[in-house]
Amino acid sequence: MLVTNAKEVLMKAKAGKYAVPSCNFIDLDSARVFCETAERSRLPLILSFAEVHQTMISLEEAALVGKYLSGKYDAPIILHLDHGMEPEYCMRAMELGFTSVMIDASMMDFDGNVRVTKGVVQEAHRRGVQVEAEIGHVGSNAAESDNSLYTQPEEAARFVALSGCDSLAVSIGTSHGVYKTGTPKLNFEVLHGIADALPETPLVLHGGSGTGDDNLARCAKEGISKINICTDFYVAALDAARAPETADYFAAKEDTNAAIRKVQEHYYKVFGTKTL
């Protein structure tokens, strides 16, 4: 079931102190596994397509896949654009049927981020689409002592008020990709401050892969409503494809799909995701 109000789903997660996984698909197979697993588990899913993966599958193809699969199953599925880097790309995603988009203008200064995000929000809300934005150095794997890299609560509250975004990705010490120095140390004090400053805004954690089950379980219980997972799915898939007992291409496809499914089921438990 294609969900048209992403914020409502995330606000239920916020109130229930659990998180909904945002799973990045790169082809029909991965998208189908994510949706089938959500259906089997009777749990909500954020089916995400990242702009950076447009070399694997086009935005138009991703929209067709997402809309078809979300209409096929009863599980609540949000079709989300992850890390849209330009307003025009977000607009295209809306036109194609994405029900939620992320505009990532976090590399700009505060005023520039507000300006770009507000422009996307105005067009999205006119279409009934929700918008995720980002503030702080998400994905920098910030050192605990360098608070300048974290999202500051007061700035986050001001940003939401000025931009009108529906959900906000924040920086508390996670990083995209594979961690090279072990499990990161997250700043939960900063998370608590942001959650207190934004009681009506769902918070998002990017870079969930490799962050550690204990960290992610705490995030879900203590203020994060949406957790993005990507790398863990495809590391598990690659390991399955490389297994010595893999007989041929078709067996490899089955094994990689099974590996992706296992990771998703695991994170549903870690996040404490509940039926809507």
pLDDT greater than 60 at residue 76: yes
> CB–CB of 66/96 below 8 Å?
no
pLDDT recorded at residue 184: 75
Mean pLDDT of 246-265: 93
* Catalytic residue of the set 29, 82, 166, 248: 82
Q: Render pLDDT for 107-150 as a digit per residue (tens, 0 to 9).
A: 999 999 999 999 999 999 999 999 999 998 655 444 433 454 79
Percent of the chain residues past pLDDT 70, beyond the cut: 93
pLDDT recorded at residue 178: 56
Strands 224-229 and 203-205: parallel
pLDDT recorded at residue 244: 82
pLDDT recorded at residue 276: 86
82 is catalytic: yes
> CB–CB of 137/172 below 8 Å?
no
CA atoms within 13 A on the CB side of 139: 15
**pLDDT class of 105 with cuts at 50, 70, 90:** very high
Mean pLDDT of 4-8: 96
Q: Render pLDDT for 156-181 as a digit per residue (tens, 0 to 9).
A: 999 999 999 999 999 998 876 655 55
Structure tokens at 191: 């998370």
CA distance 67 to 185: 37
pLDDT-wise least confident of 21-35, 193-207, 243-257: 243-257
Q: Is the pTM of this model over 0.85?
A: yes
| Domain parsing of the chain, residue ranges | 6-271
pLDDT recorded at residue 51: 97
pLDDT recorded at residue 199: 97
**pLDDT class of 83 with cuts at 50, 70, 90:** very high
Task: For the domain covering 6-271, report its CATH number.
Answer: 3.20.20.70
| Burial grade of 192 (CB within 10 A; 0-12, 13-18, 19 or more) | middle
pLDDT recorded at residue 210: 83
pLDDT recorded at residue 181: 57
